[in-house]
Structure 1
């Protein structure tokens, strides 16, 4: 007996039983089987849901098949490929045996490929010919994973706020300082949780309008170096990447973003030095990307952008897995500062604040879960304020309280930051003494390197905790005034090149020596008479004198 005849006999038996069933059961049966006009019950397959999240397991059910029959169930994916359903994603299809009632159950593990899937049933063995008509088939969909980028709107400087927006930032809704990092987040939905490795590509304008825009990526919390309070009179806003987001697991992953390269940089060492300075001052966490709901496994730069170009974009790839269908990736974009890049010949900053015209951008470029669409956020140059630098020098000169003519005086001079200083570096420090002119720095620790003994990090910049040392020697001259007032002046430049200075004076009492001698004796004497003279020596000077002989 062939399979078709067996199906007809089974149909007759089922129809006899169906007469005794309730109308509701009959309605269910009509939903579960396809009855041809001749009365033959056809096999069917269906899924437990019409739409699935990435990584879920599809439960395929079937009825009306030959009892204990073997059937091949290929699942044709949206890209036309077929894999078995055990989660190994091995190319091929599975064979399923119907039970004694002609029913079957099949589990199929999804792997994050979004779109429409088709489940077919063929008599086993099937040779893989998709042009062959199946016994039956059904379809289901795997949701398309989605991602949306937003940036942190902290309000105008006079009206701070805290919001994540998908629009652009300008001076009316944002206030940042060059050197801050603009917070960004990428909210991702319907992600595969079966261990699928996800790679998301970001892009940012490293150069725009022949100025530096976003140097590199950092943590999303960097809005207080330079000081937010000093610049705007209020504390830095606190972005929460999970605001308004649900369905994210408690897993949090931190991953250090690699330092940017300085290849082809017009300023040697930048922006690598700026990145390193952040790590030195704020800690490694200041340059870490954060994933809520999964684990970051790699962050890698794409091809190096050209730092000498008028405009160029830097790409960076972030690789991760998630353990919840929703996840949030958060990072910051370091706003290029004139303290790093300086000024052009016209005095215009070569930093983000010097960008004219169109704003600069952060973008979602691509990922391996389908099409992201065009997602691009911009920051207007007017929203990035120029940093304010206010270093204050403290110059101290210490010498003896008194000295004699001909004596060599040694003065100790120190130059450091005053307690009122903001601690920003002072460059090109020179020290001039009113008596001898320029003073050479003390280099006793390592005379060969030429750095001031107080320049502990040897960067030729007077930093906040450093005390630079100098020595002045002077021999007191006869014609010097009394007291001898000696002034030392220390001069340097702040980050913008503006001059800062301080001076200190030391007064030395010149101890002069002076004596007067009077000699008294008789007005006359006889020959042979002994004459007694009285000699009076008076110390008319300012120091004690000790005589060893009189001539």
Structure 2
């Protein structure tokens, strides 16, 4: 091959390489890593594999924590899909996404287990969060929005190392009578090369699905055989950074009561006085001494005993004083 031909071939290779690199999203080139963990409740550790009855126990209505560590990102805007099995074998599985630490793993986002350990750990920067939008999807006469209200769970996506820009409304695909999925698109802005996301997968409750509509139990506890999944897909449109974790039906035990994940209701402050801005003092209840075996408070009982003592003393004194005049009269007669 002549020198000119070799030079032409080399130039063609360089051009092809450049075009291929341009076709690949700039933020997920070599060096970018994505890792998804879920919390094993019995092991009390992050699990880079799957959950089952040996390492976890979760009730229907509980929330499985997930953390996603992304490394090697370029500073700037990115996007990623969170995809979850909405039904598995015709039964509801993860019916919506929620805040990551509602029932487990609180304060343990940097626990050194699993694989999604952020390079920012253990000294994470300040976090921020963004609300998951309501999901109006309806199946079997019941809506996901109704399940969210029934649960009372807080539903926010948390981020360290960046800012969440938007979260799309869930898009559902597949048949709810078989295997189906929900999918949200998250857009975020990375402030450095590392970003950590955390969220929870709510476990569908049979007390809502479908008993709230008079139907049979159809929550996650009814899933049998194959597990259901939580996934992250298409970081900046690339499919080579996808992650997938699953939970076996053997890990589901019991159920959370309706509203069991609702935040506590704060005690209302005292009302303000008219025109003063100062709280109106609340009347203090009258202190009552505890009742004794006689049924009377100790204070009342003591008063009665004292009164009886005075009466007895007077009676005794009077009875002793009666013979004195008679004795004096007898002496005078003598």
CA root-mean-square deviation: 3.1
Q: Given the alignment, which residue of 136, 147, 152 partners 1:274?
A: 147
Mapped contact 2:128–2:159 kept (Cα < 8 A): yes
The TM-score with structure 2 as length reference comes to 0.63
Q: When the two structures are aligned, how many residues end up with a matched partner?
A: 237
Q: 4+ residue stretches of structure 1 with deviation over 6 A?
A: none
**Residues 1:175 and 1:259: Cα distance change in structure 2 (over 3 Å):** same
1:217 maps onto 2:97 in alignment:
yes
Q: Given the alignment, which residue of 74, 81, 85 partners 1:205?
A: 85
1:177 maps onto 2:50 in alignment:
no
1:167 maps onto 2:49 in alignment:
yes
**Residues 1:167 and 1:239: Cα distance change in structure 2 (over 3 Å):** farther
Alpha-carbon distance between aligned partners in 1 of 2:209 and 2:250, rounded to the nearest angstrom: 18
Alpha-carbon distance between aligned partners in 2 of 1:190 and 1:77, rounded to the nearest angstrom: 21
What's the secondary structure of 1:188's corresponding residue?
strand
In structure 2, the partner of 1:247 is 119
**Residues 1:388 and 1:218: Cα distance change in structure 2 (over 3 Å):** closer
1:150 maps onto 2:150 in alignment:
no
Alpha-carbon distance between aligned partners in 1 of 2:170 and 2:259, rounded to the nearest angstrom: 36
Q: CA deviation at 1:388?
A: 6.3
Q: Within 5 A, what are the aligned runs for 1:1-150? A: 77=18, 79=20, 81=22, 112=27, 114=29, 143-150=30-37
Give the structure with higher Rg (CA): 1
Mapped contact 2:140–2:210 kept (Cα < 8 A): no
Q: Within 5 A, what are the aligned runs for 1:359-508? A: 359-368=227-236, 370-387=238-255
Mapped contact 2:97–2:155 kept (Cα < 8 A): yes
Q: CA deviation at 1:348?
A: 6.2
In structure 1, the partner of 2:203 is 335
Q: CA deviation at 1:111?
A: 5.3
Alpha-carbon distance between aligned partners in 2 of 1:359 and 1:153, rounded to the nearest angstrom: 15
Mapped contact 1:177–1:385 kept (Cα < 8 A): yes
The structure with more strand, counted as a fraction of residues: 1
**Residues 1:252 and 1:237: Cα distance change in structure 2 (over 3 Å):** closer
Alpha-carbon distance between aligned partners in 2 of 1:362 and 1:302, rounded to the nearest angstrom: 14
Which protein, 1 or 2, shows the higher relative CO under an 8 Å CA cutoff with sep ≥ 6?
2
Consecutive unaligned residues in structure 2, runs of 5 or more: 1-14, 261-334
What's the secondary structure of 1:367's corresponding residue?
coil
Mapped contact 1:206–1:307 kept (Cα < 8 A): no
Alpha-carbon distance between aligned partners in 1 of 2:259 and 2:28, rounded to the nearest angstrom: 54
Mapped contact 1:187–1:329 kept (Cα < 8 A): yes
Q: Within 5 A, what are the aligned runs for 1:232-243? A: 237-238=105-106, 240-243=108-111
